[in-house]
């Protein structure tokens, strides 16, 4: 699932790389820069082990609108292209504003995962030590009982010889 997400994000970023430089709308550089910043913010969330499928879906929607704006621009429909780019810019701004909270949530989740893992290490050591101690005690008891049996057999054999 993560591989599919990264593949989809790679394809979307390639679309932005190919489509954005050719767009001649009013704010091509700002929308392109905003999409790069948004992508970087979402990539940080996923690098920290978090997930934010809603923000990714919104980013993909904005990239789709940017692509449609580019198509409209190539068709000569500057008004619709500007409108679509404005919508994409709005969506990218919303996603970018929601990114810090999602990054904080991912960082908190990562911290809890680390704490849980680290706290389980002493428990595992304790259980393995306890298991070793119990098995050692059982082994010693078995050895003592075998030694005791040998003594009884020797005493019985000595008595039988007399």
Bigger pLDDT: 53 vs 152? 53
Q: Is the pLDDT of residue 29 over 90?
A: no
Report residue 154's pLDDT band, with 50, 70 and 90 as the boundaries: confident
The pTM (predicted TM-score) of the whole model is: 0.57
Mean predicted lDDT score pLDDT of the chain: 85
How large is the average pLDDT for residues 97-106?
Answer: 92
Domain boundaries, the chain: 2-117
The 3-class secondary structure across the chain, one letter per residue, is CHHHHHHHHHHHHHHHHHHHHHCCCCCHHHHHHHHHHHHHHHHHHHHCCCCCHHHHHHHHHHHHHHHHHHHHHHCCCHHHHHHHHHHHHHHHHHHHHHHHHHHHHHHHHHHHHHHHHHHHHHHHHHHHHHHHHHHHHHHHHHHHHHHHHHHHHHHHHHHHHC
Q: Is the pLDDT of residue 86 over 60?
A: yes
CA distance 150 to 153: 5
Tens of pLDDT along 127-146?
Answer: 999 999 999 999 999 998 88
Percentage of the residues of the chain whose pLDDT score is greater than 90: 52
Bigger pLDDT: 92 vs 18? 92
Report residue 62's pLDDT band, with 50, 70 and 90 as the boundaries: very high
Q: Given this model, what pLDDT does residue 77 score?
A: 87
Percentage of the residues of the chain whose pLDDT score is greater than 70: 83
Cβ atoms of residues 38 and 16 within 8 Å? no
């Amino acid at each position: 699932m993560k591989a599919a997400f990264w593949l989809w994000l790679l394809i979307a970023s390639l679309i932005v790389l190919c489509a954005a430089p050719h767009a001649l709308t009013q704010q091509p550089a700002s929308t392109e820069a905003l999409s790069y910043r948004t992508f970087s913010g979402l990539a940080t969330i996923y690098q920290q082990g978090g997930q934010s499928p809603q923000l990714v879906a919104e980013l993909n929607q904005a990239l789709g609108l940017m692509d449609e704006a580019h198509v409209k621009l190539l068709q000569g429909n500057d008004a619709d292209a500007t409108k679509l780019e404005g919508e994409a810019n709005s969506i990218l701004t919303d996603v970018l504003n929601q990114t810090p909270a999602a990054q904080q949530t991912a960082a908190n989740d990562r911290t809890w995962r680390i704490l849980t893992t680290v706290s389980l290490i002493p428990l595992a050591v304790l259980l393995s030590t306890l298991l070793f101690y119990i098995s050692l005690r059982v082994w010693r008891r078995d050895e003592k009982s075998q030694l005791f049996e040998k003594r009884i057999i020797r005493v019985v054999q000595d008595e039988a010889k007399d």
